[in-house]
Chain A
């Protein structure tokens, strides 16, 4: 199928999507690229990790995403004493029926905001991360399916901070993207300083989408055409990361699948009928950076620079 047949550019769904982008841009100022990455990640059915120092708007962005997408959402503040049951739920004994009854935890929602996910103990982290991968939870021999769509938008503080447990590679791999926000530009910062709390704006705003339209958008994204030359390009990119002897790990096949899905979503957001190398390049740093790490002696280079270097090295197919 072609999402954009020639001549007919605007689809009602796209209009809603554009409204969503515009709404997000009014809440989170000066970060259009990050906003589009977040949307691309969610449209690609991926979980999102936002990493940055406190106070640059991580939580604001996640709240805005939940609100604008029109999804049911829950927020969990991760702390070092948070237990898996606090997320997944717990079986309680019901005196009336003389039975154990499972009380759903906050994870039973469409969008879970996991704030400061790296403050929780590894045990709690892994409970969340299993649910992310399987899209279901198992408690007391019973499996409960999570709703569809189901997203986790997690925020974390940089690893160097006190009181954090770094997410291991295997769990980082479950996040399709990791993005950083960074400090705002001076003119946007000025606006932030004058207008005050951005989250207050949300209450006056209607959701641009709802759960059903998000699912439809996800289906449309999967139908964006991926050509053979583009698959060659992605394979070359992945292969290069595996050939480099100075990297701990190359990109996994899961990362490759995620890269393609994210590129499809980016192409869809850019209103393109097919994925171009540019779409891969646009999402690659966010998809690959948290999965690439240099070996010990030369660990100075971070994932973003590695991804950027990777893109410079691999010529696009012509």
Chain B
């Protein structure tokens, strides 16, 4: 291809790159439209097909706007706007005839990249984004030089060079441009939450999560991590049961918990929570205090954020896994914790009452229910049969197979039927120790549900009925959790050489990216300043740091640009000559880049006759040393002489030029 078709090909590629970055967030028809329009416009430019006229493109644009509006019921919001931009860029491609048109389309490609950055910031995306940026810059350069003045390879290389030159600037901006403490980028999220714990529990809900390998959170511990059986990450606590679904009353029902002081042996750790579109901040059961002002610790020891978690957040927390709170329940709370739907699951309610009657105490009752689970032929499976409206009856007396949600639900119902206050707690259990990153990785598939019962004198006590049926669930992968532990059966699986460490390294890189790059917020910025030795970090200090670094960078750049690329560093003679040129420039005779020593001597003679004799001698000496035949013996001493002569030469500054002063005088007289 040559000329405009070539530039058009690049433009189409830039747009398609932007569209493909969003391929899973925009409807399929938008991608197809972009591909068709690209092919059409390229074929049209090569004169193989006719391009659509003004009317047809206009109609197409209107149809696409209508399609977007119909699909999203709005043109606002990230996804609708992205789709709209992709569609309009595609139509514009059909009428891209001038350079300006092509710039607009490439601009759309860049905006699509920007939208992709807003939507997703994970590590695997970063190289794709960089590639798209490179593609757009190359396309712009090719478009700017439609003839053959800049070849395609040269354009691609120039784009790469420009981007690399801009990289330090980007790093400076990243480090020092003050972050807004609020989240400017948190656009209204549309669509369903991706994954994560919700505040309801139905018999099937946890198994959805079990299939997702996405990370839920990562935790770095000060000191050793807790043993696997204590790795209960507390999420929403559920109270209300309608016979099928467990749910949580609205947040305003919960008072804030009093701040507790950290006990000895408490775990101190830092959590990075992946976005979940829910408000829960997960912490090890049970957390002492709210880690920041943006989150509230409710009376049932759940961390409830002010806003949904739409981007990774990081917080420090202290948890005491053995904490007890024996404060008696208020009557109203007790009533809530005993609530059961009328006329649902009648057989289970009956069973609960009977077992309580037979047991001597609440604690005995708990033990007998667990014994029932252990010996009653129950089976742990992630693919249980569907349950009816009386889900617990169906489970206890029918299927007898299920997973944590089923067991927790059944257990709490039996407890409540027997008059023991009980509730369902959802969250995550376990986590995988990453040896390379030194942190605990908790995945969505670690989602878990367990129960808590209120026993007088002990307060709320965790009971995990799943552990009775499937103890391996609690201990799963116990060996790999412990750094340095040796050889058991589970290790054998993971010790396929390299695989485990490869996986760990990849996750550690992702964790680093999430924490240090995506999670580099205003707090981290100020921390950086403090590490740089700034006594009072703040926005002003940030501005100073930015200004200083920018100045330094520009100085480096200027120095680099002053040198002809590929040329060796200036030698002694060149440095001496530069000093001479600087002196003469101060004397009012700067040297032009294309001026050699002889013509320079002439301009000195013309403009500063008083300096002419010395300047001519020095310049001639320089010219002989630089361009004359080399003489082994004399050159070194002559160079030294020249250096000394240049250093000693005192040049008077230029007198105010006669013309300038006369001009001033005439201006003054004109005023008079």
Listed in ascending order, the chain A residues whose CB lies under 8 Å from chain B are: 2, 225, 227, 229-230, 245-246, 270, 272-278, 281, 311-318
Contact = CB atoms under 8 A, between A and B. Distances in A.
A277 B149 contact: no
Contacts of B147: 245
B148 interface: yes
Contacts of B570: 318
Contacts of A2: 629
B535 interface: no
Contact of B598 (A273, A278, A312, A317): A278
B593 interface: yes
Interface stretch (B215-223, B247-255, B490-498, B619-627): B619-627
Contact of A227 (B148, B597, B627): B627
Contacts, number: 58
A250 to B, nearest CB: 14
Contacts of A277: 596, 627
A273 B149 CA distance: 41
Q: Which 8 A-B pairs have the closest CB atoms?
A: A277-B596, A315-B593, A274-B628, A278-B596, A245-B149, A225-B629, A227-B627, A278-B598
A63 to B, nearest CB: 32
Contacts of B585: none
Given A245-B148, A276-B623, A311 B628 contact: no
A311 B596 CA distance: 11
B70 interface: no
A154 to B, nearest CB: 31
11 contacts: A225-B628, A245-B148, A246-B149, A274-B624, A277-B627, A278-B597, A281-B594, A281-B599, A311-B594, A317-B626, A318-B577
Contacts of A315: 564, 593-594
Give the bracket for the number of chain B residues in contact with chain A.
20 to 34
Contacts of B574: 318
Interface in B522-562: none
Contacts of A270: 598
B596 A316 contact: yes
Contact of B593 (A246, A276, A316): A316
Q: Which of B594, B624, B629 has the most CB of A within 10 A?
A: B594
A237 B629 CA distance: 22
A229 B626 contact: yes
B578 interface: yes
B594 A312 contact: yes
B564 to A, nearest CB: 7
B595 interface: yes
A245 B150 CA distance: 8
Interface in B131-163: 147-150
Interface string B610-637: 0000000000000110111100000000
A222 B626 CA distance: 19
Contacts of B598: 270, 272, 276, 278
Contact of B596 (A246, A273, A281): A281
Contact of A276 (B577, B594, B597): B597
Interface in B326-364: none
A4 to B, nearest CB: 11
A68 B624 CA distance: 33
B627 A314 contact: no
Given A245-B148, A245-B149, A273 B594 contact: no
B149 A276 contact: no
Contacts of A245: 147-150
Q: Which of B150, B596, B627 has the most CB of A within 10 A?
A: B627
Contacts of A281: 594, 596, 599
A277 to B, nearest CB: 4
Contacts of B577: 318
A230 B627 contact: yes
B286 to A, nearest CB: 72
Interface string B585-609: 0000000011111110000000000
Nearest to B573: A318
A276 B623 CA distance: 7
Nearest to B151: A245
A225 B594 CA distance: 21
Nearest to A315: B593
Contacts of A227: 626-629
A62 B385 CA distance: 111
Nearest to A277: B596
